[in-house]
Amino acid sequence: MNRSYTASSLNTAALASRDSTFDQKTSVCSSATSHSSHRASLLGNAPKSGCGIGPGSSLSLLGGFCKGARAFATGGPGQAIKKVGGSGGAQGSKQDFSQEMLFGSMLAVETTIYAEPMAQCLHCDYKTIYSQLLQDMDHDPLAKQQARGMIYRSRFLYKSHVAVKDLDRVFFACIFCDKLRSTCHEGDATVFQSVDHLFRHLSRHSLPLTPVAGVIVLYEQPKASSADQQDFDLIIPGCTPMLPAGPPADARDYLASLPEARATKDHIRQRNGKPQSRPDNVSEVLQFLAGARILGVEYPDKWDGKWCQGWHDGVLGVFPSKTIQLEAPEKVQSIIKSVPRSLRTGVAKWEWDPKSRAGPTSWLSFSKGAQISNLAWDDPHAWYWIGTNSKGMLGIFPKSHIRIETIQDGSLDEPHGATRSSGGRLRLGSLFGRSKS
């Protein structure tokens, strides 16, 4: 049945009357196809050890899902939405036009009183066009939208939004990962900067998705376009393309030998902001939020330690080294204590000054060109070494930050592959040029 609404009828009561269709519904994993089973077997349903969503994650740092998103899922739109703007709205009473208004609009003064009515979250500034939400509530087939081969309705984004304080920073999170408190793959994002990023993440998800209260998921298109067939949040058809889960399989062993990092600040493109800096004209600039986990971090020589490259959310890209903090290896204190001291010395290639220390003797700080003494390692091929700086402090540091040609005095023994040059230095290039195969 077609319905028309007058301006006076577009109010919160109109949404509240539709709450019955949203009352404590659970995810419907109906008609799961062989495609979804095959995709699940490829990606694996069981979360890995490094996939947990903890207090240091982007989602936790941003305060988790908005209260309005939770209320929409469990109680319906009448518990989560208010109408703003437009004629007759709370902010929408019309005023006589004046030249002052025209001048104000030129200065980008708030003009939402003339905007189309919007449906705004009761707990933050997240909003969408009110008439589109009503269309969704009426189960109109025209309310369907598409992204990455999947079909969704406006309600799904409402249930997925993180509290919005700045309209230039509208973020979403995965309600399915949140339910498990774990991502699907190591290095996955927990907060997404756009609708496209959210659905790119979903296209890498194992299927069937974890059931979530108040969220209806289908795995095939409804056979009819009638209103009773349009009551869903998300459709993932069997033809949805599956994106790779991250780094190529033949590179994962190599990447596992490299450090992981946690982002300490946002590194994202700002709408209407300055272009992001980049080290060259060809490298993909990696986008992430504070708290993001980055895998396979490397410091290419050509960027003098100022830029890194690594993997996040299945994407390889570059980013400033000052935006991350490397994660120290497990049991770092016992590693430092167990490794015997040595007479080896070397010269620092770049400055290394981590912002935080995981303990009194964990990270070693030094400046470019500094002499590092007492060089040691528990595994010469590990990404970190142990040393002492000019202040007598003992700790670990990334071996990428030392000039291998400066290492002197009894490094590895001959059986381990090192050979002594005529000048008394050791040729240790094999330690730093480990094959990626």
Q: What CATH number does the domain containing 419 carry?
A: 2.30.30.40
Per-residue pLDDT tens over the stretch 74-91: 999 999 999 998 765 444
Which two three-digit tokens encode residue 332? 């770092």
My answer on whether 344 and 320 are in the same domain is no
- Classify residue 105: in a domain, yes or no: yes
My answer on whether 153 and 32 are in the same domain is yes
Q: What pLDDT, on the 0 to 100 scale, is given for residue 356?
A: 56
My answer on whether 22 and 91 are in the same domain is yes
Question: What's the maximum distance between 2 C-alpha atoms anywhere in the chain?
Answer: 91
My answer on whether 145 and 256 are in the same domain is no
- Classify residue 242: in a domain, yes or no: no
- Give residues with Cβ within 8 angstroms of 207, minimum separation 6: 32, 36, 37, 39, 40, 219, 236
My answer on whether 105 and 212 are in the same domain is yes
Number of domains in the chain: 3
My answer on whether 145 and 224 are in the same domain is yes
Per-residue pLDDT tens over the stretch 333-366: 888 888 888 899 999 999 999 865 555 548 999 9
Give the number of residues written for the chain: 437
- Of 295, 326, 357, the residue that ends a domain is 326
Amino acid symbol at 236: I
C-beta separation of 207 from 32 below 8 A: yes
DSSP 333-383: HHHHHHSPP---EEEESS-B--S--SSTTSBPPB-TT-EEEEEE-SSTTSS
Residue 187 is classified by DSSP as T
Is pLDDT larger for residue 427 or for residue 259? 259
- Classify residue 240: in a domain, yes or no: no
Average pLDDT value for residue range 143-156? 94
**Could you tell me the pLDDT band of residue 310, with boundaries at 50, 70 and 90?**
very high
My answer on whether 315 and 360 are in the same domain is no
My answer on whether 316 and 352 are in the same domain is no
- Classify residue 135: in a domain, yes or no: yes
**Could you tell me the pLDDT band of residue 214, with boundaries at 50, 70 and 90?**
very high
Q: For residue 269, is pLDDT > 80?
A: yes
My answer on whether 95 and 217 are in the same domain is yes
My answer on whether 93 and 32 are in the same domain is yes
* Rounded Cα distance, 392 and 371, in Å: 11
Q: For residue 437, is pLDDT > 50?
A: no
- Classify residue 2: in a domain, yes or no: no
* Residue 119: closest CA among 85, 87, 93: 85
- Give residues with Cβ within 8 angstroms of 271, minimum separation 6: 168
- Classify residue 307: in a domain, yes or no: yes
My answer on whether 75 and 99 are in the same domain is yes
In terms of average pLDDT, the best of 98-107, 200-209, 239-248 is 200-209
Per-residue pLDDT tens over the stretch 281-303: 999 999 999 999 999 999 999 99
Q: What is the pTM of this model?
A: 0.77
My answer on whether 149 and 15 are in the same domain is yes
Range of the domain at 386: 332-432
- Classify residue 73: in a domain, yes or no: yes
- Of 171, 205, 235, the residue that ends a domain is 235
- Of 291, 326, 361, the residue that ends a domain is 326
- Classify residue 1: in a domain, yes or no: no
